[in-house]
Amino acid sequence: MSKYTLICLHGWGGSTESFTELRTALKDSDIKIVAPDLPGFGDEPEPNKPKTNDDYANWVIKHMKDNGIESNYLLLGHSAGGRIAIKMVTGRLQDAGLALPDHLFLCAAAGIHHPRHTKRVIGLILAKGGKVLFSIPGFKRLEPLGKKLLYKLVRVHDYEKASEVMRKTMINFTRENLRPLLKEITVPTDLFWGTDDGMTPYGDAKIMEAEIPNATLHSYKGIHHRVHRDRAAAIADVIDARL
């Protein structure tokens, strides 16, 4: 039996496949990796109504209980999966009567609010309001092009591809600022970040390093948002060292 279970939570648009490189890097360790497809991704069906960060945290907790994972585990989250992990360790696990993970690993985690996030949310709202504009005679034929330009402007290409339920879920995820929760994280935490990350900027890493009480930052020059894949071997070394 594995000494530890490492629960890995993928980002928006990801799946269990997102951790292929990490599985390979840890194949000779005694760590068992559990990386479920989150609702609406991979093979997991979409929820029947829009969900929040808390809803996804509760879903992961139920998955843990269903699989007998209630202690001796580690928690890792990439991007939006980092949001879920932060929610889990700042109340959701305790409310469910489960032990906190022995260690937290955040890879390019989302959760810090920026003005550009507000712009994105406004853009998404305008995208819905744009239906009125495109209903005017003469504008209807411009609707597909107009939507693509708007989505590119607010830099949320995933939004264009998503269903209505997942679009609203994405808005719920994006609009919540998790920065006030950082100081409540009591679990030892390692942060992994690429200095050229354009999705969750490197400045977010510095904020988390400063505000999470027991955090260590690992920076990777020239790496973008795929730090969990592009530096999987280095991340695996840190995980092994924490056991």
The pLDDT value given to residue 139: 41
Extract the residue ranges of the chain whose pLDDT is less than 70. 1-2, 115-161
The pLDDT value given to residue 152: 47
Q: How many CB atoms lie within 10 A of CB 124?
A: 21
The pLDDT value given to residue 137: 52
The pLDDT value given to residue 199: 87
> 2-25: per-residue pLDDT in tens?
588 999 999 988 999 999 999 999
Which one, of 82, 74, 77, 9, lies nearest residue 44 by Cα? Answer: 9
Burial 68-89 (b: 16+ CB within 10 A, else e): ebeeebbbbbbbbbbbbbbbbb
The pLDDT value given to residue 122: 46
Which one, of 110, 196, 119, lies nearest residue 151 by Cα? Answer: 119
The pLDDT value given to residue 148: 52
Q: Where do the domains of the chain lie, and which CATH numbers do they carry?
A: 4-113+177-241 (3.40.50.1820), 115-171 (no CATH)
Give the C-alpha separation, 127 to 120, whole Å: 10
Percent of the chain past pLDDT 90, that is, above it, reads 68
> How do strand 104-107 and strand 189-194 relate by DSSP bridges?
parallel
Give the C-alpha separation, 31 to 47, whole Å: 30
E strand map for the chain = 4-9, 31-34, 73-78, 104-107, 189-194, 215-220
User: What predicted TM-score, i.e. pTM, was given to this entire model?
Assistant: 0.83
The pLDDT value given to residue 106: 98
Contact predicate 10/35, CB 8 Å? yes
Contact predicate 201/193, CB 8 Å? no
Tokens standing for residue 231: 């530096």
The pLDDT value given to residue 132: 44
> 161-203: per-residue pLDDT in tens?
678 888 888 888 888 999 999 999 999 999 999 999 988 999 9
The pLDDT value given to residue 153: 41
